[in-house]
A and B are shown apart, each in its own frame.
Chain A
Amino acid sequence: MTWAEIGTYAVAVFLLIGAFFTLVGAIGLFRLSDAMTRIHAPTKVGTMGIGALLLASMTSGFVAGDGSFHELLIMAFLFVTAPISANFLSKVNIHKKSSIEPPTAPNGQTWSTLVEREGDEGPESETV
């Protein structure tokens, strides 16, 4: 076996792993029951799926002698941004009450997304 063959098999394995996890993420998004549990599937399984696909892309580049580390950057940015979109989605879910009710915060506090600020007109008059 030459290095090129081993590389090709490695690319195939990474592609299969990536495709599998991406598919599981999509299945989870489809079949889990309420909005909050649905967030779990894409945030975790999605990162892993895309990570494996990027690894395949990087290996393929190095096997072809034209490699670069751009994919590492994509992965880093993905790991930094995925929690933020999940956070915004869960804040929306808290407002829309589309899941089981979250417990009230201890010591007389409220959750920061539910704090009434000056200029808020209350949830009833919101149009969006």
Chain B
Amino acid sequence: MKRFFNWLFPHPAMTLLLAIVWIILQKDLSYGMAVFGLILGIIIPRATAVWWPDRPQGFRIGKVIAYVILVLWDILIANIQVAWIVLTRPNSKLRPAWIIIPLDLREPEAISILAGTITLTPGTVSADMSSSGSCLLVHALDAPDPDAIRDDIKQRYETRLKEIFV
């Protein structure tokens, strides 16, 4: 029974996500469309499971929600900060810098989430990754102290991501 469940739902969270996205896409909610969304949510992960062999086996949903709220809040703050810099700071007073962030994370999924978070949050854009995947190259718009930004990213986002992917 458990094997059958694993075969039918190779990725239960993705099944749920696809069903919810399908239901939101509908203008009027009806049971027929909800069932169809669930069918899509079963077929698509099943059909694509072959191409995603090393997917992370589980994550903590409570920590994911806390992380999303933290990142949304940081995005809000980041926007106000960058808007302030754009409107008031002359170019000669900007101190752009490259920052190298050594990674403790190993899962590709976790690293992409970290890179996306870095791009969306205060004054930093993730630019590239080293060839063996052990550090990220990040560009900062205004970095008086690059080391502080590196430590901040490491302990604010990376430790939380490490707790999400068990």
Residues of chain A having any CB pair with chain B under 8 Å: 20-21, 24, 27-28, 31-34, 36-37, 39-41, 43-45, 47-48, 68-70, 72-73, 79-80, 82-84, 86-87, 90-91, 93-94, 99-100, 102-103, 105-107, 109-113, 115
Contact = CB atoms under 8 A, between A and B. Distances in A.
Interface string B74-95: 0110110011001100010010
B86 A27 contact: yes
B132 A109 contact: yes
B122 to A, nearest CB: 8
Interface string B87-126: 1000100101010101000000000000110111001011
Interface stretch (B21-29, B37-45, B154-162): B21-29
A111 B126 CA distance: 12
B91 A109 contact: no
Given A40-B82, A44-B79, A73-B21, A33 B127 contact: no
For chain B, give the interface size range: 35 or more
B135 interface: yes
B134 A37 contact: no
- Majority SS at the chain B contact face: mixed
B130 A109 contact: yes
Contact of A40 (B21, B102, B141): B141
A106 B127 CA distance: 16
23 contacts: A21-B83, A24-B83, A28-B86, A31-B86, A33-B94, A39-B125, A43-B119, A43-B125, A44-B75, A44-B82, A45-B83, A47-B75, A47-B79, A47-B120, A68-B24, A82-B119, A86-B125, A87-B127, A90-B139, A99-B139, A100-B98, A105-B137, A113-B128
